[in-house]
């Protein structure tokens, strides 16, 4: 089994890519200089390890049910594709890009609406989701991509986001799009109701 027992020497590993390695035991340990971590494969634990300088995290796992990335306070990009995730916690104040492909998640974490630096948001969910009026707190948001989502409506507060340029709803079931949201620079909505 792969496990890092001791912290590496200064300047050592900055990128760690793990693909299809079923014998890996998590947490991996402490990697102080790690900036990018990519994990593709089954994970037995949502505690990945201690990576204080992690900026980019990509996780593709079929069996992970809960994911908590709160400890990665320098995280700027999070890409999660997990078939089974039902709950996610992400109190990461520096996050700029978030991509969630979570077919079974039933609600978005409330801390999503506290990500003041978030510029790009991609959601791919097959359950019915609600974006709340708290989306107005995402003042840096420039792009929203909704893929295969079911939503009763988009919040009218999206139109109050001054930096929002692109709103893409692809193959979504959205019952109502408020008129003021339709004024966003790019509004693409193929296969929406």
* Domain boundaries 96-193, CATH class: alpha beta
Beta-bridge partner residues of 11: none
Digitized pLDDT (tens) for each residue of the chain, 193 residues in all: 454 544 444 458 899 898 888 777 777 778 888 999 998 887 766 778 788 999 999 999 887 778 888 889 999 999 999 887 767 888 899 999 999 998 877 778 888 999 999 999 999 988 788 888 899 999 999 999 988 888 888 888 888 888 988 888 888 888 887 777 765 655 555 554 4
Question: How far apart are the C-alpha atoms of 115 and 138, rounded to whole Å?
Answer: 6
Residue 4 · residue 27 · CB < 8 Å: no
pTM reported for the whole predicted model = 0.85
Here the tokens at position 181 are 């949201």
Domain boundaries, the chain: 1-84, 96-193
Length of the chain: 193
Question: How far apart are the C-alpha atoms of 97 and 23, rounded to whole Å?
Answer: 30
For residue 2, count CB atoms less than 10 angstroms from its CB and return exposed for 0-12, middle for 13-18, buried for 19 or more.
exposed
């Amino acid at each position: 089994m792969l496990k890092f027992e001791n912290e590496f020497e200064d300047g050592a590993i900055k990128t760690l890519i793990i693909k299809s390695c079923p014998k890996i035991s998590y947490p991996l340990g402490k990697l102080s200089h790690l900036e990018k971590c990519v994990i593709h494969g089954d994970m037995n634990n949502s505690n990945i390890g201690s990576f204080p300088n992690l900026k980019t995290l990509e996780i593709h796992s079929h069996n992970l049910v809960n994911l908590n990335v709160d400890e990665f306070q320098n995280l700027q990009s999070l890409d999660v594709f997990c078939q089974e995730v039902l709950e996610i916690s992400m109190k990461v104040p520096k996050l700029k890009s978030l991509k969630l492909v979570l077919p079974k998640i039933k609600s978005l974490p409330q801390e999503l609406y506290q990500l003041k630096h978030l510029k790009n948001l991609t959601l791919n969910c097959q359950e019915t989701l609600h974006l709340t009026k708290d989306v107005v707190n995402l003042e840096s948001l420039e792009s929203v991509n909704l893929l295969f989502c079911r939503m009763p409506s988009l919040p009218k507060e999206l139109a109050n986001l001054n930096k929002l340029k692109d709103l893409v709803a692809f193959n979504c079931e959205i019952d109502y799009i408020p008129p003021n949201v339709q004024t966003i620079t790019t509004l693409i909505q193929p296969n929406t109701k």
